[in-house]
């Protein structure tokens, strides 16, 4: 997992350098400290999906190119078979599988997410999210609002609001997440 994180970090640093954008400019644009942004580029900390999405939009590069180093090629449709999504192992508490990594010019990013039991951290980023619980019981905290979702429940929210996901009942949760 650490090797993948370092590879992604290296790609985002390289693209920033290619476009001659100072760290300070991106840090301010994304609402993080310069120190935190430098940590993202060093591969020493997890890079929030929201930051990766913003980087891909900012530099007009497909998110999958940042994650995998390969450009998407499909224009008409992208079929992802069960268990065959591209793994995006960036955090211990969440495991992401990209469900449309090879579709070019996506307007949204669909992921299959597994939330492991244990502590999670808060995140916020521009855009919106849709969550649909497939298995388990999920606690979603939006600012100070705690919501409990069961299989079949869905939630749509402004991802600029500070949010976290927690698996309840000491069991993992599986959900579909669409970020746009």
Domains of the chain with bracketed CATH: 2-68 (1.10.260.40), 86-179 (2.60.120.10)
Q: What is the DSSP string of 143-177?
A: TTEEEEE-TT-EEEEETTS-EEEEE-TTS-EEEEE
Token representation of residue 115: 């939330």
Share of the chain above pLDDT 70, in %: 96
- Tell me what pLDDT residue 95 has: 79
Q: What's the pLDDT at 172?
A: 96
CA distance 82 to 100: 12
Alpha-carbon distance of 81 to 16, in angstroms, equals 34
Looking at residue 89, its pLDDT comes to: 55
DSSP H helices, the chain, are 2-18, 23-30, 34-42, 49-58, 63-68
57, 82 in Cβ contact below 8 A?
Answer: no
The per-residue pLDDT for 45 is: 84
Q: What's the pLDDT at 171? A: 96
Name 101's Cβ contacts closer than 8 Å, sequence gap at least 6: 63, 64, 67, 68, 72, 78, 80, 85, 86
Per-residue pLDDT, 92: 61
pLDDT of residue 91: 55
Contact 161, 121 (CB under 8 A): no
Residues 6+ apart with CB under 8 A from 131: 138, 140, 149, 154, 155, 156, 165, 175, 176, 177
Give the pLDDT confidence score for residue 176 in this predicted structure.
96
Reduced to 3 states, what is the DSSP secondary structure of residue 62? coil
The pLDDT value given to residue 25: 94
pLDDT of residue 90: 53
Q: Given this model, what pLDDT does residue 112 score? A: 93
Q: Can you give the pLDDT at residue 154?
A: 97
pLDDT at 61: 87
Tens of pLDDT, residues 154-168? 999 998 899 999 999
- How much is the pTM? 0.73
Q: pLDDT tens-digit profile of 3-29? A: 777 888 999 999 999 999 999 999 999
Q: In the chain, which stretches have pLDDT less than 70?
A: 1-2, 88-93
């Amino acid at each position: 997992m650490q090797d993948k994180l370092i590879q992604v970090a290296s790609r985002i640093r390289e693209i920033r350098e290619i476009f001659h954008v100072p760290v300070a400019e991106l840090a301010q644009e994304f609402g993080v400290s310069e120190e935190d942004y430098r940590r993202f580029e060093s591969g020493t900390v997890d890079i929030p999906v929201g930051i990766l999405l913003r980087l891909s939009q900012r530099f007009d590069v497909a998110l999958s190119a940042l994650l995998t180093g390969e450009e998407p090629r499909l224009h008409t449709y992208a079929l992802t078979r069960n268990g065959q999504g591209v793994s995006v192992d960036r955090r211990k508490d969440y495991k992401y599988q990209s469900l449309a990594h090879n579709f070019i010019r996506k307007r949204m990013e669909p992921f299959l997410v597994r939330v492991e039991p244990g502590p999670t951290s808060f995140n916020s980023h521009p855009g919106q999210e849709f969550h649909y619980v497939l298995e388990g019981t999920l606690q979603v905290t939006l600012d100070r609002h705690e919501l409990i979702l069961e299989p079949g429940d869905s939630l749509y929210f402004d991802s600029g609001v500070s949010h976290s996901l927690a698996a309840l009942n000491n069991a993992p949760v599986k959900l579909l997440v669409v970020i746009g």
